[in-house]
Structure 1
Amino acid sequence: MDILSQPTDTRQATPGQAEPAITRTTATVAQIMGLTLDQVLTGLDIRVIESSITDTNFYGGVHIGNGGKITILTSPGRDPRITDTLVRFLIAKTFDLDVADLPAPFGVEYTDITEQARNAWVKAVSA
């Protein structure tokens, strides 16, 4: 898995204005969509990793670990603009911000894999 970076992301604040700080408690959709992706990821302490999942229906996912550490997994080989848009969308959804859903055929599925893993373990031990 490769950690992604967007060195060519050149979006800037209006000339003469300072970039607004982005934090987990104050993040807005406008900041997530308007700041450079590097600023968003750094400010919100989010890591983006290209996964090895090659299923054509998988575009990405979010893992929230212990202590609230957020990792976003992206699908390999996608157009960088699609990946950028998806990462921003997933960040907004993760922080439960009011962002429009993606158009078809995209969809978001929420899964608590902790509960699924626990149930699978109990089933395996009980067998």
Structure 2
Amino acid sequence: MTLTVDHLMDTPLPVLINELGVTLIDSEIADREFFGAVVQSKTGELLLSMPRNRSDFEHDTVARYLLAQAFGVDVAPMPAPLRTVREEGV
């Protein structure tokens, strides 16, 4: 499946996550500066780890942005001070 910006932004998040075969998990990281992460497991599965107790807007926005990064969809960068870091082989 080729993920487009329109599909990424318009599809309800639960449907999008299911279509992409991504597993959504609650993060135990309580740091307010942690907004989420996409991690590839040893089996190749993509895990979207999102912190608990965030607003629906924040959860939805960050999840879509992280999925865009993981699937190579060209979207505008998040505003400062938010930033993403790509680490290989961690």
Give the superposed CA RMSD: 1.2
Which residue of 2 is the match for residue 81 of structure 1?
A: 57
Q: Which has the larger radius of gyration?
A: 1
Q: Pairwise mapping of residues 88-99 of structure 1 onto structure 2 (< 5 A)? A: 88-99=64-75
Name stretches of at least 5 consecutive residues in structure 1 with no aligned partner.
1-24, 115-127
In the alignment of these two chains, the number of paired residues is 90
CA distance in 1, matches of 2:82, 2:88: 20
Which residue of 2 is the match for residue 102 of structure 1?
A: 78
- TM-score with structure 2 setting the length: 0.91
Structure with the greater relative contact order (CA < 8 A, sep ≥ 6): 1 or 2?
2
SS across alignment from 1:58: coil
Name stretches of at least 5 consecutive residues in structure 2 with no aligned partner.
none
SS across alignment from 2:86: coil
Q: Which runs of 4+ in 1 moved over 2 A?
A: none
Q: Pairwise mapping of residues 26-105 of structure 1 onto structure 2 (< 5 A)? A: 26-105=2-81
Structure 1 residue 68 displacement after superposition: 2.6
- TM-score with structure 1 setting the length: 0.66
Structure 1 residue 113 displacement after superposition: 4.6
After superposition, the C-alpha distances for 1:23-77 in whole angstroms (9 at most, x for unaligned) are: xx31111101101112101111111111110011101001112343111111121
CA distance in 1, matches of 2:84, 2:6: 21
CA distance in 1, matches of 2:17, 2:63: 10
